Chain A
Amino acid sequence: MPTRILRKRKLIPGQTSELVLEAPHIAAKARPGNFVILRVWEDGERIPLTIADADPTAGTITLVYLIMGKTTAHLDTLDAGDFLLDVCGPLGKPTEIHKLGGPVICVGGGTGIAAMHHIAKGHHMAGNHVVTIIGARCEDLLLFRDELCSFCPEVLISTNDGSCGRQGFVTDLLVERLTEDKTVAEVVAIGPVPMMRAVAEATRPFGVKTTVSLNSIMVDGIGMCGACRVSVGGETKFACVDGPEFDGHKVDFDGLAARLTSFKEQERISYEEFRKSHECHCSK
């Protein structure tokens, strides 16, 4: 059954957008940490996207995507009122959220900030003191700043060029915070692989529990193929059903990063074909 797009918001023009979808049966069940698999058109591939927010009362879920290849570019041609061919979920294990003895630091990078938003909100609702640290290359690329500020007592910002907040990386702010606050109960990190790896390495000396949400290649998202497999503590796990969240100190990030390049060449071909046909279409 096709799923209607209710609203679309361009968060970073030409790069990142937010879609609010009418999906009551998914919204009713979606918990922080869950994701969906979607397909845009009849000959489309299945891609995973984290649920950035869910409103069970309104029956909606929110997805945020970065345009980085054919499918996300194709997705971005759709607008409010259009339909997505397939949306399947909620998938994956929800984030483990309990009332904790100390603050939770949620670190988000790039589009990962959207996924982090849902988790930070979950921790906030459970009564935890949530500190969020978000980072980007420059101020214009910071996502969900207002949303996070609406419920987080502390929103720390870093940019590579220093156009907003601290100049540097999210890990700089994180290490500073961990050094001065020994009561931090957990660190959650979501973003590109190098960023999650850096966070895991930064927290390791402090011995703070660190959870990362892995973005491996997925096909079905329900545990039937193992495309998303990743080595955690020396054991093979399927990110779609055993995760996507794992102990950041046990994840084999090198293996994950390598497997993400499996189809690099095919992805390039597919995107080029799409851009060619899209340009032709526009010039007519």
Chain B
Amino acid sequence: MNATAPSKKAKAPRTAMPEQDPKVRARNFEEVALGYTPEMAAAEAARCLQCKKPACRKGCPVEIDIPAFIKQVAAGDLDAAYGVIRETNSLPAVCGRVCPQETQCEGSCILGKKGEPVAIGRLERFVADSYLARSACETVTGTPACSMARDDLKVACIGSGPSSLTCAGYLAARGIPVTVFEALHEVGGVLVYGIPEFRLPKGVVRQEVQAMKALGVEFRTNWVGGKTITVPELLESGYDAVFIGVGAGLPRFLGIPGENLIGVFSANEYLTRVNLGRAYKFPATDTPTFPGKHVVVFGGGNVAMDSARTAMRLGAEKVSLAYRRTEHEMPCRREELHHAKEEGLEILCLNAPLEFIGDDKGRLTAIAMQKMMLGEPDDSGRCAPVACQGDTCTLEADMAIVAVGTGANPLISQSTPGLSTYRRGYITADPETGETSIRNVFAGGDIVTGAATVISAMGAGRRAAKAIAERLLGAAAADPPQARAADDPADA
């Protein structure tokens, strides 16, 4: 189907997605991008050329069969479309919203060479949003209950972010009971404490988690891996395998004078207060946040964008983002940069902080800044920022948010004898299987690679889950249950 003259289709413009007005949304926490209607989704799906060798699929870290699900969207069969996506992706409603598609699936789409690529992320989101009310078990396995459940096996996942959730979902769909241990009081990792409501509504995460509970995944919150329970204790108490997906949540600071002044926050603290603590509703909620008037955010990634846009929504008069390189090098999602500028964010490129300056009460009042220029390419392949000697200035600010990256939290490695780590505490894991230096202990996501994307963490969770399933069930039984939903009688 849809095999008519590709050249004409290539000219059809990408279907726009409705959004909240920038003036209105800059002061609220409602989702900015509103999603496709069924008509918009059908129109966008019809643009797909249904390539025989789809480059988009290679561009997706979990290799969703993109043409297959889009074909079902065009045909109006959302059940089948969801089934195709869920074969490889446990969190489609999340990924459709937060993946940097421009460097992944959409960046590889053939239509993007001459015009605009198919809006794969928006279509994935549309399918998942339309489908979330349904039983996950039915969708993944084709049966209403997980009849193949094994009571002789069990796997523990430490952490409940994207990598662990993906690992748990994959195993549970194959009948292996999974217990997820989460240190915080809510499940979802960065999806609940990091990414704000206006980009990823928490209701979406809760629904995905609910779908996993329906698959039989048990969640234990307030259990700190390495403190309340350790990896050796899990193995001793009868877990057949352990997956470590604890992320890279240790904030990095700048190491410059004045960093402990009142008003200087790590992005993790600021976002955790607002998102997990719902401080934007204070005092109806108890977690306070800091009422910054002049806010400066340091960094150029998604975390910096999220912090800046959050500060705006909490009533800051002026929010500036200082970055050592230029806009071109910013690692954030392009759509977020675009949205942030529409909402009034000031960008100060080629600027680095020298010192935080405070008053006699220990409160931040200003920041001394150093002008930078781009020099030779460094290890990352990007041009290294070099200080323009003598070119400094002072910015007035009562709040600063440091979003210059995170490191590995040592709680797990400190409490697990024999677990190999490399480079500042990241866990060493086999790139193919995710297995660590300890047999039957696997790891994936940011705790292995350092801070990366939601979808790459999910890819790692899926690879590890596959390896675990192969070891516990044998190779044949561990294969995905095929495109059962896609080949359903519904299609016949």
Interface size on B, residues (CB 8 A): 44
Is there a chain B Cβ closer than 8 Å to A270's Cβ?
Answer: yes
Q: A86-B221, A262-B290, A269-B283 are in contact. Are A225 and B262 (CB under 8 A)?
A: no
Closest approach, in angstroms, between the C-beta of B194 and any C-beta of chain A?
10
Complex CA distance for A91 and B363, rounded to whole angstroms = 29
- Contact present for A273 and B272 (CB under 8 Å): no
Q: Are A273 and B287 in contact (CB under 8 A)?
A: no
Q: In whole angstroms, how far apart are the Cα atoms of A273 and B273 in the complex? A: 20
A interface SS class:
mixed
Which residues of A are found within 8 Å of B281, using beta-carbon distances? 43
Quick one: closest A residue to B358, CB to CB? A258
A87 at the interface (CB under 8 A from B): yes
Q: Does A153 contact B (CB under 8 A)?
A: no
Question: Among the listed stretches B102-110, B128-136, B246-254, B329-337, which one makes contact with chain A, having 4 or more residues with CB under 8 Å of it?
Answer: B246-254
Segment 280-298 of B: residues with Cβ below 8 Å from A: 281-291
B79-87, B200-208, B224-232, B339-347: which one contacts chain A?
A: B224-232
- The answer, yes or no, to whether B53 is at the interface (CB within 8 Å) is no
A70 and B268 within 8 A (CB): no
B286 near A71: Cβ-Cβ < 8 Å: yes
* Chain A window 69-81, contacts with chain B (Cβ cutoff 8 Å), 1 for yes, 0 for no: 0110010000000
> Once the chains are docked, how many angstroms separate the CA of A39 from the CA of B277?
10
Pair B228/A89 contact, Cβ less than 8 Å: yes
Q: Is the CB of B282 within 8 A of A266?
A: yes
**Are A224 and B249 in contact, CB atoms less than 8 angstroms apart?**
yes
Q: How far is the CA of A92 from the CA of B113 in the complex (A)?
A: 54
Binary interface encoding of chain A residues 229-267 relative to chain B, with 1 for a CB under 8 A from any of its CBs, else 0: 111000010000100000000000011001101110011
A259 x B411 contact (CB < 8 A): no
**What is the interface of chain B, defined by CB distance below 8 A to chain A?**
183-185, 220-224, 227-229, 249-251, 253, 259-260, 262-263, 265-266, 268-269, 272-273, 277-278, 281-291, 361-363, 409-411
B173 to chain A, nearest CB (A): 25
Contact A88 B185 (CB under 8 A): yes
Q: Do B251 and A225 touch across chains, with their CB atoms under 8 A apart? A: yes
A-B contact pairs, 27 of them (CB 8 A): A25-B228, A39-B185, A44-B285, A45-B288, A46-B277, A86-B221, A88-B183, A89-B224, A89-B228, A91-B227, A222-B183, A222-B184, A222-B249, A223-B409, A224-B409, A225-B272, A227-B266, A227-B269, A230-B260, A231-B260, A241-B410, A254-B362, A258-B362, A258-B363, A259-B260, A259-B362, A266-B283
Given A71-B286, A91-B224, A273-B283, A86:B361 Cβ within 8 A? no
Report the bound CA distance from A102 to B229 in whole Å: 35
Q: Is the interface of B mostly helix, strand, loop or mixed?
A: loop
Contacts of B290 in A (CB 8 A): 262-263
Distance (Å) between the CB of A216 and the closest chain B CB? Answer: 10
- How near does chain A come to B263, taking the closest CB pair, in angstroms? 8
Q: Is the CB of B272 within 8 A of A267?
A: no
* Given A225-B272, A266-B289; 18 other pairs, CB 8 A cutoff: A43-B281, A43-B286, A44-B286, A45-B286, A46-B185, A88-B222, A91-B224, A220-B272, A223-B410, A226-B268, A227-B269, A229-B253, A230-B260, A231-B260, A236-B253, A262-B263, A267-B288, A270-B283
